[in-house]
Structure formats: structure tokens, C-alpha cells
Amino acid sequence: MKKYTIQVVEDELALSNTIKDELTEEGFNVIQTFNGEEGFKKAKEEKPDVILLDIIMPKIDGITMLKMLKADVKTKYIPVIVLTVHGDLEKIADTITLGAEAYYIKDQQSLSEITKNIKNILRIK
């Protein structure tokens, strides 16, 4: 089986490490980045199979990074899952309109649910 790469763009180190541990345990390679600027640069270089993206981050926020990803020929086909504290319906609609595959509110979804969605997106069991 191909080893898929997931990029986690999350500025909270503890949460990023927890997500990394869960995904690594499930057999994924994980790239961690901690702001939108670094995240976009790394996405262009590494072309991960899926990106988990926070909204509130330093330098470049998640909405802006999502727009940049979808506007760039090298990254526009990478599935993006938004993972944030915002439950604002307008923000949810904006990210889906911009091309996000899914939108999760951090304290309302388990990592196992998010991992299951990643596997569904990648069509793996």
C-alpha cells in the first residue's frame, strides 16, 4: 500500500503533535507546519495527499491559505479539510465554497472521525 502524506497546518504545537501521533499510528507520513505562510510553501514543495488546515493562524490565516492553494496549479487538486474552533455558519459556507472537502470544529469531532474522513477522501480502508 502507498504511504500517503498528510500535511497538518496548525499553530498550536500540542494539538499539532496529537494529530501527528494519531495519523502516524494510522500509517500516514505527516508534515507539520505552524502558520499559513510556511504551510503554503511546504504544500507547493511536498504536494501532500491531504491538508488539515486551521483557520486562525499567524502570518497567513487558513482562509487566505485555502484561497492560495486553490488558485495555484501545483496545489489546487490537494484535498483540504478545515479543522478549527469556529462554528460560524458563514465561515463554514465560505470554506466549502472555496473548495474545502470538509469542515470540522475542533472540540466537536474526534480524531478518529477525522482520520476516517481522510481515508474516505483517499479511498483507503
Q: For residue range 75-88, list pLDDT tens digits in order.
A: 999 999 998 887 67
pLDDT of residue 74: 94
pLDDT of residue 76: 95
Residue 96, H or E segment: helix 89-97
Would you give the DSSP letter of residue 41? H
Q: Is the pLDDT higher at 88 or at 16? A: 16
Classify 38 as helix, strand or coil: helix
- Rg of the chain in Å (alpha carbons): 13
Model confidence at 68, pLDDT cuts 50, 70, 90, reads very high
Total-model pTM: 0.93
Asked if pLDDT for residue 36 goes beyond 60, the answer is yes
Domains and their CATH numbers in the chain: 5-122 (3.40.50.2300)
Evaluate whether 31 touches 42 at the Cβ level (below 8 Å).
Answer: yes
| 67, three cell numbers | 484561497
Among 3, 1, 47, which Cα is nearest to 24's? 3
Triad 47, 1, 4: Cα angle to 5°: 20
Evaluate whether 27 touches 5 at the Cβ level (below 8 Å).
Answer: no
